[in-house]
Structures are given as structure tokens and as C-alpha cells.
């Protein structure tokens, strides 16, 4: 049984002046011991998908899903109180900017132990000890002292370690990391990714990694889902995607990554711009920018499994796969 | 920390000195004659000249000022020209009334205004929020003396539920405190409201919710302390203004406070008292600033007191 199994998740904004769907019919699963990466440009809906799993979307958003199963339990049937019990306990989340994700007026220790106090009702002293231990486990130097510090006294990397500690202290089965390294220096990025890898190996925890950094995907993920305009356009394992991307968008995305060995001087980009979600073309949403556009692309495309474990939302991909 | 406080007190002393110079000059620029006040309306010119010389009010201004500062530093603010009593005694006996009313008003602002601000921010754009918004605007627009008079007339004089004026028991403080409270509570509710809204958009609030914390904890432990940081400054400034003399409220309800003392002093051209009450108000402002400066680092750990 997959740790997380999402079927047909949508997030729409029906009351906006021009209603739109930020997430449209997204389905995916994460098996035990695997890491799934969500890749896409800014605004493609990857963060909104993650927030929808926790029901932390903005108040005017409407979430619909056939099922969202965490270790078999369907979260869509949960009341708000039951959902609150899931947040921080069944699912932990790490955000992009650790400086913004930590409350400046509370100590690190206070914020790390909060989830423990809220979910397991531990007394303060015990929770504090566990928090200090957790900080040590995520590689915080001198954790007892660090716990008494305030966020502004720590560097970016240490802040992110603290937010990770706060997210995993109740031992969730799923950790969502939304661009966990984007706000950090490159060397610190590597340290944080190593930390995450170690934690995943040591605990029974899976990772949903949201990123726009393809390099990170190649290094850290087992499976990848490429998102465009709120929907998944290709979903497969990482090696297959990098070896042979089948969806034109995935292919263009990979091609646009500059290579040091390239002799050309011009950077390759994708022509056109991301479509207005309130005004999408009727057929394939990528068609206006697609170099493989042909007759038949004006029909709506479904995500189809054209080879075992390879899902693509493009009717022409079937031919290229052969 | 003590170094910081000492520095603030030093600047405070300078502020008081500057205030005293300005007040002293202003009072001597005004055409009314303090000697006449002292001597009474029947005195003839000879008496006035004699008194002027006795009181040494014919000395050059700078000399008079120097004498004043010298005495003030020893705690002697002179004598009232009307009552002949020491100014400092008058201030001391009058201050408790002002303090009591001020605390009453402040209590309403804080105990009612803050929760209202938090709740309307959490449930913004609901009918409740909009109603509170209108009421807040009304409360801010009400003139103190008008509201005081209305409450006094309707609830005390006509209704008989409260004492009309004066200060005999704690019951006499209710209407004045409520008046002060109503006039300011709207402002604090809106201030907390807008600060809370801004704080609630921050990432750390979303992160706190993502940890599964109950909403009440998110609002009061995570959001409110951040939202209150700017409110402390405003509260300090307002508290200082109140403690220097709540003029309108004290006058309407005939409370024996510093405010009514100041009004009487001005109306009767009692120069030492005018200077005394003004300096007192300035001292309250200085004290409030020092207290706020001390409180700040306790609430916002990012603010460091001095060099570390």
C-alpha cells in the first residue's frame, strides 16, 4: 500500500472574478521508501497541491478530490479537527524560506517542541528535552544552547535544520519539502539535502519534494511528476525522465538547462508564456508553445500510461516511445 | 541595559530642561501680569511695584529662570500665586485622581480593544467585522467632553445609576473611565486589527498551522505578540498623555486631578502652577518613553539594547 495515494485532486478558486483551477485533476502515489519530486515553473500549482494535502489552502480556495489516502486513511473524509491531528503528526511540511517560516518572537526550542505538546500532550520539560534531542538529530551544533536561541541568531542553514526538526518531531510518515533549499547558499543546499536523505533512510518516512531545480530532482528523487498549468503532464521514475523525456514540455524543460559543455552561446528557452489559468485553450494546454503541435492536439489530453510506470499527457508520445 | 536606561534618562532630563525654557518664556510673553494675580484686583500701583520687587519679578528673565532651575532641582517648584501652597504638593495630591481615571481608561482599551482586534482580524470581512469597524469609527470620532456630558446627564443625573461628579468613592471613577475607554477603544481595536491581518499573512503563521496547532494558539501565541509590538509604542505615548492630565474628562466630572489643576492655573494666570503642571506632563512623557524602551526588548528579541 503506498504511503500517499492521491486521486483526482483539484484546487479551484470559484469566487474569483475570473474563476480558475490552480490544480486540475492531479493523481499520484508515493510508495514506501521512495521520494517523489514535483517539478514545474513558478505558478504551475505544485505548492498549491502540497497545501491542499494539508487543507492549508487560502480560504477562498475549493478543494475537491476523489481520495487522498495517507497510509490507507482517506483524508477527504476527515473533519477539521481530525485534519488538524494529521498536520505535524501524519504529515510534516518544510517551507521555502526558513527565516520567514520561524516566528521571530519565539525561541527555536519553543517552536520545535510545539507540535509535540499539541499532539502528544507532553509536559513542557519532557517536550523540551525531546526538542533538544531532535535538534541534535538534524545536525544542530550545541542543540541545548541553540534551542534557547531566537531565529534571528542563527544562520540560514541552521534555521532550515530547525524547521525540519519542528516538522518531523512527531515522526510523520510523509514529509513535504517545498523548495527547501532555494533560499540557501549552494554548499548549505547540499548539507540540507544530505540531512534529508539521512532522515529518510533512518525513519520510515517518504518525501514529497517540490522544486523547480532539475539538478535537485536528479540527485534526490526516485520518481518525478512534471506539472504545467495545474496538471501533471508526465509522471515516471527519474532515470526514465532524464534519459528520455516524452512530453514535449518535459523535453523542452530539460533542454533549457544550460550545459557547460555546450558550444552554443544562446540559452535555449521555451517560446511563449505560461497560459492564463482562467482562460485555458480547450485541448492540450501546452499546444500553443509546443513544437510538435499537430492535428489532434486541440482535443483534451488525458494522462495515459503508455509504458509500465510511464504516464504522459500527450497522444503523440505513444509514437515516440516506440 | 542599565547604560541604555541611564542614556535615556539623560536625554529625558535634557527634554525637561528644554521644556522648562519654552514654558518659562511663553508664560512671560503672555500679557497677563502675575503680580496682579498675586495681589488681587484691588491692589494699587504702589503695592504692585512693591510686590514686584519683593517677589523679584523685576529681575532680568535669565536670572529668574536660573533661580527657578536651581529651586526645581531641589524639588521646589515654587508656590501657587492663588493658594500660596507649594506647587509640588498640589501635584502630589492631585495625581492619584488622574492616575485612577487613566488606569481605568487604559484598562478598557487593552482588555476590550485587543481581543476585539484579534477576533475581527481572524474573521475579517464578515458582518461582525464590518459592524465593529463602524462602531470603531464612531468611537474614535466622539469628542471626550461631549460623550462625558451625555453619559453624565443621562446615566448619572437623570438615571441616578452613577454619581454625577467629584471623587468621593471608587464609584465616581466609573463614568469617567468609561468615557475615556469608549473614546479610545475603537482606535486600539483597529490598530490591533490591521497589525494582526498583516501578521496572519506571514509564513510562520502558515508553518504553525502546518504543525497542527489549535487556532487559538496560532492567534494568541504566534500572531498577537508580533502584532502588539507597534501597539506598545502607541500605548506608551497615550499613557503619557493621560497621566499628564486628562483635561476634558476631569473637567466634566469635576475630578480633582492634574488636568483640572492645569486648567484652573491657566484660567487664573497662576504662573508657577502653569509651569509646574506643564513640566509634570513633560516628565510623564519622558517616563513613558523610558518604560517603552525597556519593554521593547522583552517583547521583540530582535531588538538589542545597546552594543553587545
Task: Determine the Cα–Cα distance for residues A150 and B98; give it in Å rounded to an integer.
Answer: 40
- Each residue's pLDDT tens digit, A63-98: 999 999 999 999 999 999 999 999 999 999 999 999
Residue B307 has pLDDT above 70, yes or no: no
* CA B107 from centroid of its chain's CA atoms: 14
Q: Which residue of A has its CA nearest to B203?
A: A101
Q: Is the CB of residue B122 less than 8 Å away from at least one CB of chain A?
A: no
Q: Is the CB of residue B124 less than 8 Å away from at least one CB of chain A?
A: no
Per-residue pLDDT averaged across A234-263, rounded? 88
The model's confidence at residue B159, banded by pLDDT at 50, 70 and 90, is: confident
Question: Nearest CB to B204: which of A101, A119, A152?
Answer: A101
Give the helix ranges, DSSP H, for B74-223: 87-108, 114-122, 127-141, 144-151, 174-200, 203-210, 215-217
Quote the crossing angle between the two packed helices B258-267 and B87-108, to the nearest 10°.
130
Question: Nearest CB to A88: which of B202, B212, B299?
Answer: B212
Q: Which residue of A has its CA nearest to B297?
A: A105
User: Inter-chain contact B204–A103, Cβ cutoff 8 Å?
Assistant: yes
Sheet containing strand A223-228, strands side by side = A91-94, A174-178, A206-211, A35-39, A223-228, A231-237, A310-312, A304-307
Q: Is the CB of residue B204 less than 8 Å away from at least one CB of chain A?
A: yes
* CA A217 from centroid of its chain's CA atoms: 11
| % of chain A beyond a pLDDT of 70 | 98
Residue B43 has pLDDT above 80, yes or no: no
* CA B1 from centroid of its chain's CA atoms: 26
Asked whether the beta carbons of A65 and A147 are under 8 A apart, the reply is: no
Question: Nearest CB to A105: which of B208, B213, B299?
Answer: B299
Question: Nearest CB to A87: which of B202, B209, B217?
Answer: B209
Residue B32 has pLDDT above 80, yes or no: no
Residue B76 has pLDDT above 60, yes or no: yes
Measuring CA to CA, how many Å separate A121 from each of A86, A113, B152, B222? 15, 11, 52, 19
pLDDT at A279: 85
Closest Cα to residue B232, out of B123, B138, B114, B132?
A: B114
Q: Is the CB of residue A119 less than 8 Å away from at least one CB of chain B?
A: yes
The model's confidence at residue B305, banded by pLDDT at 50, 70 and 90, is: low
The residue that leads in pLDDT, A256 or A81, is A81
User: Inter-chain contact B212–A85, Cβ cutoff 8 Å?
Assistant: yes
Q: Is the CB of residue A16 less than 8 Å away from at least one CB of chain B?
A: no
Count residue pairs from A and B with Cβ separation < 8 A.
74
| % of chain B beyond a pLDDT of 90 | 47
User: Inter-chain contact A115–B212, Cβ cutoff 8 Å?
Assistant: yes
Residue B39 has pLDDT above 80, yes or no: no
Tell me the ipTM for this assembly. 0.90
Q: What is the CA radius of gyration of chain B?
A: 24
pLDDT at B308: 39
Average per-residue pLDDT in chain A?
A: 91
User: Inter-chain contact A88–B211, Cβ cutoff 8 Å?
Assistant: yes
Q: Which residue of B has its CA nearest to A178?
A: B207
C-alpha cell at B156: 448619572
Task: Determine the Cα–Cα distance for residues A45 and B213; give it in Å rounded to an integer.
Answer: 25
Phi, psi (deg, nearest 5) at residue A2: -65, 150
> Cβ neighbours of residue A87 under 8 Å, at least 6 residues apart?
A54, A56, A93, B209, B210, B211, B212
Q: Is the CB of residue A113 less than 8 Å away from at least one CB of chain B?
A: no
Q: Which of A82-91, A246-255, A301-310 is predicted with the least confidence, judged by mean pLDDT? A: A301-310
Domains of chain B: 2-73 (no CATH), 91-305 (1.10.3720.10)
Q: Which residue of B has its CA nearest to A170?
A: B211
Residue B17 has pLDDT above 90, yes or no: no
Task: Determine the Cα–Cα distance for residues B305 and B4; give it in Å rounded to an integer.
Answer: 7
Q: Which of A195-209, A278-292, B112-126, B139-153 is predicted with the least confidence, judged by mean pLDDT? A: A278-292
User: Inter-chain contact B212–A84, Cβ cutoff 8 Å?
Assistant: yes
Q: Grid cell 531532535 — which residue?
A: A134
Strands in chain A per DSSP E: 4-13, 20-30, 35-39, 62-64, 67-70, 73-74, 91-94, 174-178, 206-211, 223-228, 231-237, 304-307, 310-312
> Taking the model in full, what pTM does it have?
0.84
Q: Which residue of B has its CA nearest to A154?
A: B302
Measuring CA to CA, how many Å separate A269 from each of A104, A255, A289? 40, 8, 11
pLDDT at B301: 85
Q: Are strands A4-13 and A67-70 parallel, antiparallel or unpaired?
A: antiparallel
User: Inter-chain contact A84–B203, Cβ cutoff 8 Å?
Assistant: no
Task: Determine the Cα–Cα distance for residues A157 and A151; give it in Å rounded to an integer.
Answer: 11
Task: Determine the Cα–Cα distance for residues B66 and A312; give it in Å rounded to an integer.
Answer: 91
Q: Is the CB of residue A108 less than 8 Å away from at least one CB of chain B?
A: no
- Each residue's pLDDT tens digit, A167-190: 999 999 999 999 999 888 888 999
Per-residue pLDDT averaged across A276-287, rounded? 86
Query: Cα distance from B219 to chain A (closest Cα, Å)?
Result: 12
User: Inter-chain contact B213–A150, Cβ cutoff 8 Å?
Assistant: no
pLDDT at B84: 83
Q: Which residue of A has its CA nearest to B228?
A: A105
User: Inter-chain contact B211–A115, Cβ cutoff 8 Å?
Assistant: yes
Task: Determine the Cα–Cα distance for residues A256 and A226; give it in Å rounded to an integer.
Answer: 15
Phi, psi (deg, nearest 5) at residue A142: 50, 65
Q: Is the CB of residue B61 less than 8 Å away from at least one CB of chain A?
A: no
Q: Is the CB of residue B210 less than 8 Å away from at least one CB of chain A?
A: yes
Average per-residue pLDDT in chain B?
A: 87
pLDDT at A257: 82
Task: Determine the Cα–Cα distance for residues B258 and B256; give it in Å rounded to an integer.
Answer: 7
Residue B48 has pLDDT above 90, yes or no: no
Asked whether the beta carbons of B97 and B167 are under 8 A apart, the reply is: yes
Task: Determine the Cα–Cα distance for residues A88 and B213; give it in Å rounded to an integer.
Answer: 8
User: Inter-chain contact A115–B213, Cβ cutoff 8 Å?
Assistant: yes
SS3 B211: coil
Q: Is the CB of residue A104 less than 8 Å away from at least one CB of chain B?
A: yes
B43 CB-side CA count, 13 A: 17
Other C-beta atoms closer than 10 Å to the C-beta of A58 total: 10
> Cβ neighbours of residue B142 under 8 Å, at least 6 residues apart?
B182, B183
Burial zone of A205 (CB within 10 Å; 0-12 exposed, 13-18 middle, 19+ buried): buried
Q: Grid cell 518535459 — which residue?
A: A250
Closest Cα to residue A174, out of A36, A20, A64, A76?
A: A36
**Helix (H) or strand (E) run with residue B164 in it:** none
Per-residue pLDDT averaged across A121-133, rounded? 94
Sign of the CA dihedral with B7 first, then B12, B15, and B20 last: negative
Other C-beta atoms closer than 10 Å to the C-beta of B290 total: 18
**Count of H-run helices and E-run strands, chain A:** 12, 13
User: Inter-chain contact A104–B204, Cβ cutoff 8 Å?
Assistant: yes
Residue B40 has pLDDT above 80, yes or no: no
User: Inter-chain contact B214–A84, Cβ cutoff 8 Å?
Assistant: yes
Q: Is the CB of residue A216 less than 8 Å away from at least one CB of chain B?
A: no
A95: left (phi over 0), alpha (psi -120 to 50) or beta: beta
| % of chain B beyond a pLDDT of 70 | 97
Q: Is the CB of residue B308 less than 8 Å away from at least one CB of chain A?
A: no
Task: Determine the Cα–Cα distance for residues A207 and B293; give it in Å rounded to an integer.
Answer: 46
pLDDT at A322: 67
Q: Is the CB of residue A118 less than 8 Å away from at least one CB of chain B?
A: yes
Q: Is the CB of residue B131 less than 8 Å away from at least one CB of chain A?
A: no
pLDDT at A277: 87
Q: Is the CB of residue A101 less than 8 Å away from at least one CB of chain B?
A: yes
Q: Is the CB of residue B59 less than 8 Å away from at least one CB of chain A?
A: no
The residue that leads in pLDDT, B135 or A317, is B135
Identify which of A236-240, A287-291, B30-34 has the greatest average pLDDT. A236-240
Mutation target vs B (from A93, A104, A116; most B CBs, 10 A cutoff): A104
pLDDT at A27: 94
pLDDT at B1: 65
pLDDT at A258: 79
Task: Determine the Cα–Cα distance for residues B38 and B81; give it in Å rounded to an integer.
Answer: 5
Amino acid at each position: 500500500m503506498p504511503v500517499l495515494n492521491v486521486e483526482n485532486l483539484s484546487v479551484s478558486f470559484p469566487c474569483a472574478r475570473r474563476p480558475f483551477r490552480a490544480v486540475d485533476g492531479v493523481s499520484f502515489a508515493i510508495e514506501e521508501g521512495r521520494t517523489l519530486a514535483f517539478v514545474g515553473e513558478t505558478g504551475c500549482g505544485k505548492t498549491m497541491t502540497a497545501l491542499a494535502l494539508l487543507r492549508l489552502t487560502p480560504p477562498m480556495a475549493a478543494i475537491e478530490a476523489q481520495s487522498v489516502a495517507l497510509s490507507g486513511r482517506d483524508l477527504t473524509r476527515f473533519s477539521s479537527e481530525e485534519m488538524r491531528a494529521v498536520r505535524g503528526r501524519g504529515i510534516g511540511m518544510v517551507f521555502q524560506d526558513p527565516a520567514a517560516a520561524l516566528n521571530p518572537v519565539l525561541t527555536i526550542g519553543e517552536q520545535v517542541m510545539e507540535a509535540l505538546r499539541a499532539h502528544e500532550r507532553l509536559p513542557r520539560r519532557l517536550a523540551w528535552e525531546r526538542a533538544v534531542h531532535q535538534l541534535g538529530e538534524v545536525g544542530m551544533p550545541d542543540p541545548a544552547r541553540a534551542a534557547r536561541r531566537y531565529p534571528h541568531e542563527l544562520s540560514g542553514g541552521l534555521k532550515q535544520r530547525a524547521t525540519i526538526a519542528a516538522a518531523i518531531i512527531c515522526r510523520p510518515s510523509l514529509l513535504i519539502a517545498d523548495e527547501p533549499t532555494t533560499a540557501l547558499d549552494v554548499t548549505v543546499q547540499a548539507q540540507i539535502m544530505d540531512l534529508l536523505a539521512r532522515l529518510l533512510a533512518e525513519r520510515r518516512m517518504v518525501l514529497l519534494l517540490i522544486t523547480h531545480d532539475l539538478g535537485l530532482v536528479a540527485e534526490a528523487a526516485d520518481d518525478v511528476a512534471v506539472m504545467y498549468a495545474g496538471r501533471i503532464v508526465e509522471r515516471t521514475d527519474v532515470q526514465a525522465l532524464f534519459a528520455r523525456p516524452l512530453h514535449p514540455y518535459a523535453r523542452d524543460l530539460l533542454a533549457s538547462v544550460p550545459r557547460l559543455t555546450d558550444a552554443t552561446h544562446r540559452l535555449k528557452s521555451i517560446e511563449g508564456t505560461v497560459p492564463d489559468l482562467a482562460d485555458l485553450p480547450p485541448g492540450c494546454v501546452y499546444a500553443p508553445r509546443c513544437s510538435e503541435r499537430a492535428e489532434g492536439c486541440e482535443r483534451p489530453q488525458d494522462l495515459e500510461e503508455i509504458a509500465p510506470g510511464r504516464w504522459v499527457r500527450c497522444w503523440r508520445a505513444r509514437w515516440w516511445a516506440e | 541595559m542599565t547604560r541604555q536606561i541611564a542614556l535615556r534618562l539623560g536625554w529625558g532630563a535634557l527634554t525637561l530642561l528644554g521644556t522648562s525654557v519654552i514654558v518659562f518664556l511663553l508664560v512671560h510673553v503672555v500679557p497677563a501680569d502675575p503680580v496682579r494675580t498675586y495681589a488681587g484686583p484691588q491692589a494699587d500701583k504702589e503695592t504692585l511695584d512693591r510686590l514686584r520687587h519683593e517677589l523679584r519679578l523685576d529681575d532680568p528673565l535669565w536670572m529668574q529662570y536660573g533661580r527657578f532651575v536651581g529651586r526645581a532641582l531641589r524639588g521646589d517648584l515654587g508656590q501657587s500665586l492663588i493658594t500660596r501652597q507649594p506647587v509640588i504638593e498640589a501635584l502630589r495630591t492631585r495625581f492619584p485622581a488622574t492616575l485612577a481615571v487613566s488606569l481605568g481608561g487604559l484598562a478598557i482599551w487593552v482588555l476590550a480593544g485587543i481581543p476585539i482586534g484579534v477576533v475581527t482580524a481572524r474573521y475579517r470581512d464578515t458582518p461582525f467585522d464590518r459592524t465593529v469597524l463602524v462602531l470603531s469609527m464612531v468611537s474614535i470620532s466622539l469628542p471626550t467632553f461631549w460623550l462625558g456630558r451625555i453619559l453624565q446627564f443621562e446615566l448619572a443625573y437623570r438615571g441616578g445609576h452613577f454619581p454625577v461628579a467629584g471623587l468621593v468613592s471608587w464609584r465616581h471613577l466609573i463614568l469617567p473611565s468609561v468615557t475615556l475607554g469608549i473614546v479610545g477603544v475603537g482606535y486600539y481595536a483597529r490598530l490591533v486589527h490591521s497589525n494582526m491581518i498583516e501578521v496572519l499573512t506571514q509564513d510562520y503563521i502558515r508553518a504553525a498551522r502546518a504543525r497542527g496547532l489549535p487556532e487559538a494558539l496560532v492567534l494568541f501565541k504566534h500572531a498577537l505578540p508580533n502584532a502588539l509590538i507597534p501597539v506598545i509604542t502607541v500605548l506608551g505615548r497615550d499613557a503619557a498623555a493621560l497621566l499628564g492630565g486628562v483635561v476634558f474628562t476631569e473637567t466634566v466630572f469635576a475630578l480633582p486631578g492634574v488636568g483640572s489643576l492645569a486648567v484652573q492655573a491657566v484660567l487664573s494666570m497662576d504662573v508657577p502652577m502653569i509651569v509646574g503642571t506643564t513640566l509634570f506632563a513633560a516628565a510623564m512623557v519622558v517616563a513613558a518613553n523610558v518604560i517603552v524602551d525597556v519593554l521593547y526588548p522583552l517583547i521583540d528579541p530582535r531588538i538589542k539594547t545597546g552594543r553587545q
